[in-house]
Amino acid sequence: MTNTLLILILLTNLRLLISSRIHACVRWVAAQGILLGLLAVVGRQADITLLGILFALFTAAIKGWVFPWLIFRAIRESEIRREMEPYVGYNLSLAIGLAALGVSFWLGRRLPLPGLPGPLFVPVAFFSMFAGLFLIVSRKQAVTQALGYLVMENGIYLFGVVAVRDEPLLVELGVLLDLLVAVFVMGITMFHIQRDVESLDANQLTQLRD
Amino acid sequence: MMGSLWALALLLIPGALALLLPRLRWIGAAGAVAGAAVGLVACARLLGGAAAESLRVHWSIPGGLLYMELDALGAFFLLPVWIVTALAAVYGVEYLGRHPRAPLAAALFNLLAASMVVVVLSRNALLFLAAWEIMALSSFGLVMLEDEKDSVRAAGWTYLAASQLGTAALLLMFILLGSAAGSLDFDRFSAAGRGGWILALGLIGFGTKAGFIPLHTWLPEAHPAAPSHVSAVMSGVMIKMGIYGLVRLLGLLGPIPAAAGWWFTAIGISSGLLGVIYALAQHDLKRLLAYHSVENIGIIMLGLGVGLLGVRYGLPAMAAAGFAGGLFHVLNHALFKSLLFLGAGSVLHATGTRDLDRLGGLVKTMPVTAAAFLAGALAICGLPPFNGFASEFLVYLGAFHGSTASAQGPVWGGLAVLVALSAIGGLALACFAKAFTVVFLGHAREARPQPARDPGPAMKAPMLLLASLCLAIGLGAPRLFPAFQYILAGRTDAAAQAAALGDARAALGTATGVMAVFVALALLAALWRIRRLAGRPVSQSVTWDCGYAAPAATMQYTGSSMAQPLTEFLDPVLRAERHIEPPAGYFPASASFVSHTPDFFQRFLYRPLTALGARLLAPLRRVQHGNVHLYVLYIALTLLALLAWSLGAR
């Protein structure tokens, strides 16, 4: 069950890399968030507590509903185009994604963490982070940068679920709060930047350098 | 220790509130005063001989430890911090008035004060550096308060660049100190045979903050740009943190490098002389005061240099008098320099200019400011009965002890210090004669819509309090000597130190007594004059005007003309730029004279250096292209490389 979920998360990452529609991307990120919430419950069957379940639900709600809602609203209000506008084509993105997947598995082999529920955890966590970073780097629109950060955070969350056994809740809660602020800030700056630069193409931000 | 922590809380919480509740204009200053009251009690206990208190709390940063300690040396350096920041904060409330950034200024001001306290208290390199940076950044924010002016922005960036370079040197110094010991706590540092390098880095790092020549160039830029109460704190207290760092470092080094005394003396002589010479050539009142800070840091370094030479050549009397004089001058300079800056601030507040050649005659309309400024001027010139005299006297005494020694070294050192110190004193007197005369005496050089008036009580009270402190310390200096026993503990042999301090105290007591007699005589003469003039007609008339019947206020001696005999003589050092259009013919239509004196080191050292740096680093601008995607790519690639490296190496 755990492995199934992990593989699903892995596939959502690949799907994100080849998706050309922003709305679809936001939905896939939301789906990934809900999968993560499920994983937090399933991945720790042995020592799950009521607080743990509540926390998993909370995470799923934030990642699967609040963030997508905020991003959808930002898209609606800023009237941007619905396309991802990549620097790197979708096929090449997929190829790079697969290469990153290979690197992730290599890193996972080199980094054996004790007490893991399965061998896939670390590679998938790394892959999510790489996919997020790649989205940030390779897509022009500012919204996709927020999406990239979300995907990256999902990778960190995977580590949080497994690696930090003692106080995963606290660590994760902190990261989640950071992210919430980040999405807010992103929304606000997007609004302001659009007003000033009249475009949400992150490429145009070069005008803002000193 | 708890006292100091409470005092910090009293500073910081109202500082934050000042930002949140901008209507409560007094809250920041109230916090500064309350913090000072609590903090000073703690300092007084330590200076009375109580044992040092310390506090260690775990800190999650690697190598970091919230390790603070209050000892007599720290308590002594905290005295000016607490006194001056509290008074300047009160002054600042009225000075800034309803300035839109006044709440921000109050918050930054309290943060600056708190960071200076933590600098003095901290005993862990990371904590120290963190506080040091907060101090630099909060004061940078205060310098930039009026960043709509180009000159202010230029000054702010100069200051920031200088202070970052200084911190870089400190970082290296702490790495050297900590690497041998394997710990960043002060009590486990060891120099491990690299004392010379460590001291050199310390002199660069702390010297940038203290402002010795040639590391002083930020000082005459940043002090005039900052609001006056901030200049008072920066010039009076913050640059002393550099001196504190050096004194603390000397205690941490173990065996002090043999040449240290000569280094300190040489720095002291060059800073003292060049500082006062440049001050003499200035037209801007606050810039003039800033150069005097360079001069006084030089005097402090002279005192420390004499002390170190005394230690090196085994002359405890020279060592004790030198150290005591140098440290005492730290307190005294803090008091009179902040007094002078507050006085200059009142003048600026009332007239809107710092240009000496546009002021004049203010003693008639601003008598309180004039009196306070005069007290500060007398103190900074080292004239009795003010406090500057007491500390310079101790440095002189140390140098005399050296010059009468049997060995060659201290004789030359002592003589050099004596010559330099008397030249500095003479030039400082000339400079303040010029500054006070041009600003306060004579007639106003420009017509004003309203006469310049003394400021309100919130600005007057701090000036008067500082002036009376200068006088009280000047008269009561011998009573403060027991505290030096605790402050200097461990620097020299205790018994010899006690004897030397006893001698110094007796000599200073005699000097104080003699000057008390002179003060009494002067007062008697004044009384006699008043009695003689009573009942007789007293009238005012113009000065002798060489037969010219229509003298105007602009014909008075200007600052430049008063200083001209000296600046002409010193021109090989000053290299003033003069633009003269002499009067031509019998009925000249126009004539003009403009002179200004750019800083030698700024012109011939830093400007070429920074231009070279900018040229060499220009290709790197291509990396900063403003493209966010590629910035994130840099980060991602770095992370990936680091991960692969650390996991692949296993």
User: Does A138 contact B629 at a Cβ distance shorter than 8 Å?
Assistant: yes
Residues B109-132 as b or e (16 or more Cβ within 10 Å = b):
bbbbbbbbbbbbbbbbbbbbbbbb
Instruction: Write out pLDDT tens, residues B140-179.
Output: 999 999 888 899 999 999 999 999 999 999 999 998 888 8
Residue A164 has pLDDT above 70, yes or no: no
Tell me what the pLDDT averaged over chain B comes to. Answer: 88
A103 touches chain B (CB under 8 A): yes
A209 touches chain B (CB under 8 A): yes
The beta-carbon neighbor of A107 closest among B632, B633, B647 is B647
List Cα–Cα distances, B229 to A151, B78, B223, B399, in angstroms: 50, 18, 10, 35
The beta-carbon neighbor of A137 closest among B636, B648, B650 is B636
pLDDT at B338: 95
Q: How far apart are CA B591 and CA B583, in angstroms?
A: 5
The beta-carbon neighbor of A206 closest among B625, B636, B647 is B625
The beta-carbon neighbor of B636 closest among A87, A133, A203 is A133
Residue A131 has pLDDT above 80, yes or no: yes
- B79 lies in some domain: no
Give A73→chain B minimum CA distance, Å.
Answer: 23
User: Does B640 contact A202 at a Cβ distance shorter than 8 Å?
Assistant: no
pLDDT at B273: 94
Query: Which chain B residues have a beta carbon less than 8 Å from that of A134?
Result: 636
Q: What is the pairing mode between strands B53-58 and B65-70? A: antiparallel
Closest residue of chain B to A202, computed from CA coordinates: B628
Instruction: Write out pLDDT tens, residues B390-449.
Output: 899 999 999 998 888 888 888 999 999 999 999 999 999 999 999 999 999 888 888 888
Torsion angle defined by CA atoms of residues A84, A85, A86 and A92, in that order, rounded to the nearest 10 degrees: 80
Range with the lowest mean pLDDT among A176-180, B37-41, B402-406, B629-633?
A176-180
Return the bridge partners of B592, or none.
B581
Instruction: Write out pLDDT tens, residues B16-57.
Output: 888 888 888 899 899 999 999 999 999 998 888 888 888 888
Sign of the CA dihedral with B607 first, then B612, B618, and B624 last: negative
Return the bridge partners of B581, or none.
B592
pLDDT at A181: 63
A171 touches chain B (CB under 8 A): no
Tell me what the pLDDT averaged over chain A comes to. Answer: 77
Confidence bin at B2 (pLDDT 50/70/90): confident
- B97 lies in some domain: no
Residue B648 has pLDDT above 90, yes or no: no
User: Does B626 contact A206 at a Cβ distance shorter than 8 Å?
Assistant: yes
- B610 lies in some domain: yes
Q: How far apart are CA B399 and CA B311, in angstroms?
A: 13
Confidence bin at B646 (pLDDT 50/70/90): confident
Confidence bin at B580 (pLDDT 50/70/90): confident
The beta-carbon neighbor of B650 closest among A110, A207, A208 is A110
- B512 lies in some domain: no
**Total number of domains constituting chain B:** 1
- B605 lies in some domain: yes
Give A120→chain B minimum CA distance, Å.
Answer: 18
**Cis upstream peptide for A68 (omega within 30°):** no
Report the share of chain A in percent with pLDDT over 90: 8
Q: How far apart are CA A80 and CA A77, in angstroms?
A: 8
Local structure of residue B282 (DSSP, 8 states): -
Size of interface A-B (CB pairs under 8 A): 44
- B283 lies in some domain: no
- Residue B457: which residues within 8 A CB-CB, separation 6 or more? none
With tokens 């775990």, the residue in question is B58
Closest residue of chain B to A129, computed from CA coordinates: B636
pLDDT at B649: 65
Confidence bin at B601 (pLDDT 50/70/90): confident
The beta-carbon neighbor of B629 closest among A111, A130, A202 is A202
**Cis upstream peptide for B214 (omega within 30°):** yes
Give B625→chain A minimum CA distance, Å.
Answer: 7
Query: Which chain B residues have a beta carbon less than 8 Å from that of A133?
Result: 632-633, 635-636
- Candidates B310, B218, B213, B330; CA nearest to B266 is B213
Residue type, A61: A
A111 touches chain B (CB under 8 A): yes
- B635 lies in some domain: yes
Confidence bin at A185 (pLDDT 50/70/90): low
- Candidates B411, B430, B387; CA nearest to B562 is B430
Residue B541 has pLDDT above 80, yes or no: no
Closest residue of chain B to A138, computed from CA coordinates: B629
Query: Which chain A residues have a beta carbon less than 8 Å from that of B627?
Result: 203, 205-206
Residue A204 has pLDDT above 70, yes or no: no
Measured CB to CB, residues of chain B less than 8 Å from chain A are 624-630, 632-633, 635-636, 640, 643-644, 647-648, 650
Q: How far apart are the first and last CA of chain A?
A: 52
Closest residue of chain B to A141, computed from CA coordinates: B629
Q: What is the pTM of this model?
A: 0.81
- Residue B409: which residues within 8 A CB-CB, separation 6 or more? B309, B312, B313
Closest residue of chain A to B650, computed from CA coordinates: A110
Q: How far apart are CA B232 and CA B542, in angstroms?
A: 37
Residue B370 has pLDDT above 60, yes or no: yes
Residue type, A62: I
Query: Which chain B residues have a beta carbon less than 8 Å from that of A206?
Result: 625-627
Range with the lowest mean pLDDT among B48-57, B464-473, B543-552?
B543-552
Q: What is the rounded average pLDDT of the residues B511-528?
A: 89
The beta-carbon neighbor of B632 closest among A136, A207, A208 is A136
Give A130→chain B minimum CA distance, Å.
Answer: 8
Higher pLDDT, A94 or A196: A94
Give B350→chain A minimum CA distance, Å.
Answer: 38
Q: How far is CA B124 from the centre of its chain?
A: 25
Q: What is the rounded average pLDDT of the residues B522-551?
A: 84
A112 touches chain B (CB under 8 A): no
Which tokens is A37 given? Answer: 């919430």
Give A85→chain B minimum CA distance, Å.
Answer: 13
- B372 lies in some domain: no
Using left for φ > 0, alpha for ψ between -120 and 50, and beta otherwise, residue B534 falls in beta
Closest residue of chain B to A203, computed from CA coordinates: B627
Q: How far apart are the first and last CA of chain B?
A: 47
Residue A170 has pLDDT above 60, yes or no: no
The beta-carbon neighbor of A110 closest among B626, B633, B647 is B647
Which tokens is A123 given? Answer: 């590679």
Q: How far apart are CA B114 and CA B144, in angstroms?
A: 19
Q: What is the rounded average pLDDT of the residues B278-303?
A: 93
Domain that holds residue B637: 600-616+623-648
Q: How far apart are CA B639 and CA B319, in angstroms?
A: 54
Q: How far apart are CA B514 and CA B647, in angstroms?
A: 78
SS3 state of residue A141: strand
Query: Which chain B residues have a beta carbon less than 8 Å from that of A136?
Result: 629, 632
pLDDT at A79: 67
Please spell the DSSP secondary structure of B132-198, one letter per residue: HHHHHHHHHHHHGGGTTSHHHHHHHHHHHHHHHHHHHHHHHHHHHHHHHHT--BGGG---TT-HHHH
Q: What is the rounded average pLDDT of the residues B209-227?
A: 90
Q: Do A136 and B629 contact (CB within 8 A), yes or no?
A: yes
Instruction: Write out pLDDT tens, residues B240-282.
Output: 999 999 999 988 887 888 889 999 999 999 999 999 999 998 8
Query: Which chain A residues have a beta carbon less than 8 Å from that of B632?
Result: 133, 136-137, 145
